[in-house]
Structure formats: structure tokens, C-alpha cells
Amino acid sequence: MEKHLSLSESDLQGASSSIQKLRAALNEVLFGQEELIDLVICGVVARGHVLLEGLPGLGKTELVKGLAKALSLTSRRVQFTPDLLPGDITGNPVLQEVEGRREFVFQPGPIFTNLLLADEINRASPKTQSALLEAMQERRVTVLGHTHTLPDPFFVLATQNPIELEGTYPLPEAQVDRFLFKLDVPRNSASTLAKIVSNRELGVEPELPAILSREDFTVMQ
């Protein structure tokens, strides 16, 4: 028998209020990008992964870090570079002494988090990019035949530079398919740049309160 989730009016009002607070908080992190922020929130509430494309310096990384703080999620950042290996993301087995004998023990990589920021994902080789395929589809990682479940919730928010920039690799079709949204991050207007200069201290991240606990966010999903 198919089950249907029953939502009361108060449930819907509570979720709506939380989303409005989240929107307001993120708009204080990234000025002048209201539509982009709305789409990112839609993506994570729908349990989807999001790919942000834009030139360096537009605030993509700050948006992801602010989202993790507002939702009380653990987050890790991986800077994708040409020399990055798949094991640097998923983790590697390490030879250790266990009860008098030596055996391989799996050491989890940075992918074992709630929100993974894959920064400049298209600067790594396609082989390294493919390390995310199973994690993004199945929410798990398999290393040397052993499967490890990722935390819940788990999201990948990736940033990439336009493909025409030097030192980038095009994302494989299978990788692009794992993302719910691919969003363009537009350049800031002159008025937005003036607001950033007036309201930001160089090198100081904006303070952002926790809007939802991780448990409340999971319930809202």
C-alpha cells in the first residue's frame, strides 16, 4: 500500500519561515544574487547536488560555506588540482598494527561529510572526477571491495571555471548527470561591488548564525 506523508498547515508555515530566514541570511553572505541563492536552496531541499559555474572571485565558495553554517552541517572543502588522486577524496586503506597483526585499515577521506565543497572541480583529471560518481548517486563509497555509507544528509556543491580558461578539463557526461542543477554565477553589478566594498572587511568572513539544526533540516526535506 502506498503511503502518503501528511503535512499540517503549521508544518508548511514552519518550513516556509525557515526557508525565508535561510534566504535572508545567505543574501547577507552573497550580495546581489537573489535568484542564484533561491535555486541553490531549492536544490539542497530536494536532496540534489548543485554545480556552480563562473569566473573566479564571484563568491561561489563563500556561498557554499555560508550554507553549511546556516544549516548546521559538517562541511569539507577539496581544492581540485591536476595532481589530485581519487583516494585523496574517498580515503585510502592504511597498513596498521591490529591485535598483533598488520592489516589494512580504511581511513575516510574528506568526502565523509554532510556538505562537500568540490572547488574548481574541472581542474582535476577525469579519473579523479569519477571518484564522486558512486558517492553522488548512491551516497556511499566503495574502496577495495568494501562499501562505506556516507553521512546523511550528503550533498556535493561543486564550483567550476568556464571551460575556455586554461588548465580545465570538461566534466564527463556521467558526472554532469549527477547534478540536479548547473547554475551560472553572473558578474556583479557596479552597485553590488560598491556594497561589497562598503560592508566587507578584507579577509574577514561574514558572521552567519545557524538557522536550522541538522535534524530540523532533515525533517523539513
- For residue 26, being part of any structural domain is answered with yes
- For residue 18, being part of any structural domain is answered with yes
Give how many domains the chain has, as a whole number. 1
User: How far is the C-alpha of 206 from the C-alpha of 184, rounded, in Å?
Assistant: 23
Q: What is the mean pLDDT of residues 202-206?
A: 64
The three three-digit cell numbers of residue 217, written as one number: 533540516
User: How far is the C-alpha of 35 from the C-alpha of 12, rounded, in Å?
Assistant: 22
User: How far is the C-alpha of 149 from the C-alpha of 142, rounded, in Å?
Assistant: 9
Burial class (CB in 10 A: 0-12, 13-18, 19+), 148: middle
Do the bridges between strand 179-184 and strand 155-160 make them parallel or antiparallel, or are there none, so unpaired? unpaired
- For residue 86, being part of any structural domain is answered with yes
User: How far is the C-alpha of 118 from the C-alpha of 156, rounded, in Å?
Assistant: 7
Q: What is the largest CA-CA distance in the chain?
A: 66
- For residue 4, being part of any structural domain is answered with no
Q: In what order do the strands lie in the sheet with 115-119?
A: 75-79, 115-119, 155-160, 49-53, 179-184
Q: Which neighbouring-strand residues pair with 155?
A: 115
| 205 DSSP 8-state letter | P
Q: What is the mean pLDDT of residues 88-111?
A: 84
| Position 200, amino acid | R
Please report which confidence band the pLDDT of residue 163 belongs to, taking 50, 70 and 90 as the band edges: low
- For residue 8, being part of any structural domain is answered with no
User: How far is the C-alpha of 30 from the C-alpha of 33, rounded, in Å?
Assistant: 6
Q: What is the mean pLDDT of residues 15-34?
A: 83
Residue range of the domain that includes 26: 14-200+210-220
Give Rg (Cα) of the chain: 19
The three three-digit cell numbers of residue 144, written as one number: 577495495
User: pLDDT tens for residues 121-143?
Assistant: 888 888 888 888 889 999 999 88
- For residue 1, being part of any structural domain is answered with no
- For residue 124, being part of any structural domain is answered with yes
- For residue 161, being part of any structural domain is answered with yes
* CATH code, domain carrying 25: 3.40.50.300
Q: What is the mean pLDDT of residues 75-85?
A: 89
Please report which confidence band the pLDDT of residue 1 belongs to, taking 50, 70 and 90 as the band edges: very low
